[in-house]
Structure 1
Amino acid sequence: MAKLHWTPWMALAEIEGRTECGLDQIAQGSRDCAPVWQPAADLVETEDAFRVTLELPGVAREDVAVEVRGRELIIQGLRRFEKDCRGEVYHALERSYGPFARVFELPQGVSRADVTAVMKDGLLDVRLPKLGPERLRRRIPIS
């Protein structure tokens, strides 16, 4: 049996292969690929809405999709690595690149039809308005 001499470069090559596969899937229009990283998120409840804010610096608006599926809010997209590495040697590369995804379960009483999303200054702000009390409970007149 041959002995395998593992090096950290082997792990990096595997990560690179998975990232390229994910980027190819995104480029072909598939958004159902495995996420490589998850952006930080804040979840806030106000009197009339829930807000989800994600940190997405360096992510283009066109590379982000926000969906409501059933009882879930799904935010996914891609941060592209656009540096030309020829002639450069990176000593540290700490920022994450590639596909990302976050899934949040919607609480009761959210108006799914009125969800809005705004992206500004590297922050994606998704507003999920609450249904008014009159819409949650309605008395049916008897004739």
Structure 2
Amino acid sequence: MAKLHWTPWMALAEIGNEAGRMMEEAAAGARDCAYAWQPVADVVETEAEFRVTLELAGVAREDVAVEIQGRELLIQGSRRFEKDVRGGLYQMLERSYGPFARSFALPKGVSRTEITAVLKDGLLVVCLPKMRPERLHRRIPIS
């Protein structure tokens, strides 16, 4: 077997090959994906609840669904593209359109029956109230 002399150029070639392979996999995955984009989200925990806030500017209430599936909170919908340039051409188009989805693992202790969602001013706020701990000591009235 011949002796191979390693050079830094060999490492650069290997990095290039790996980057090309990763780009091909990403492109193949993008074709298989059913969702075009993901809205940004904030998750805040207070003493009483978990609050998930998503930016959904331009998304109609009818185009959003909030569901509990097993141990996950699933938020999905679609932002419609409405071309209104009236004879003009887009020079730049940065907003995302099409179907979207976000899922969040539900923490333990969430009261599933009291979950609420409000879409206002382009923000979807989902409140996940925590279950109240059972009081270990209470007085029982006698009748």
Q: Is the TM-score greater than 0.5? A: yes
2:49 corresponds in structure 1 to 49
Q: Does 1:68 align with 2:68?
A: yes
The separation in 2 between residues aligned to 1:49 and 1:134, in whole angstroms, is: 16
Q: How does 1:28-47 map to 2 (within 5 A)?
A: 34-47=34-47
Map 1:6-25; keep pairs closer than 5 Å: none
2:61 maps to a residue whose letter is R
CA–CA distance in structure 2, aligned partners of residues 124 and 42 of structure 1: 11
Greater than 4 Å deviation, 4+ residue runs: none
- The 2-side partners of 1:101 and 1:54 are apart by 11
Q: Is structure 2 residue 127 aligned with structure 1 residue 127? A: yes
Deviation digits for residues 27-71 of structure 1, max 9, x if unmatched? Answer: xxxxxx811000010000000100000000000000000000110
- The one-letter amino acid of 1:129's match is P
Q: Which residue of the partner structure matches residue 101 of structure 1? A: 101
* Alpha-carbon shift at residue 89 of structure 1 (Å): 1.2
Residue-by-residue CA offset, 1:89-114 (whole Å, 9 max, x unaligned): 11110000000000000000001111
Q: Structure 1: any 5+ residue segments left out of the alignment? A: 1-17, 19-32, 138-143
Question: What value does the CA root-mean-square deviation take over the aligned residues?
Answer: 1.9
Hey, what's the Cα distance between the residues in 2 that align with 1:107 and 1:59? 27
TM-score by length of 2: 0.69
Q: Distance in 1 between matches of 2:49 and 2:78?
A: 27
SS at match of 2:119: strand
| Residue identity in the other structure for 2:110 | V
Instruction: Extract unaligned runs of 5+ from structure 2.
Output: 1-30, 137-143
1:8 alignment partner in structure 2: none
| Distance in 1 separating the partners of 2:86 and 2:121 | 30
Q: Secondary structure at the match of 2:62?
A: helix
Which residue does the alignment assign to 1:58?
58
Following the alignment from structure 1 to structure 2, what is the Cα–Cα distance between the partners of residues 35 and 107? 25
Give the TM-score normalised by structure 1.
0.69
Is 1:83 equivalent to 2:68 in the alignment?
A: no
- Computing the radius of gyration over CA atoms, which structure comes out larger, 1 or 2? 2
What is the total number of aligned residue pairs between the two structures? 105
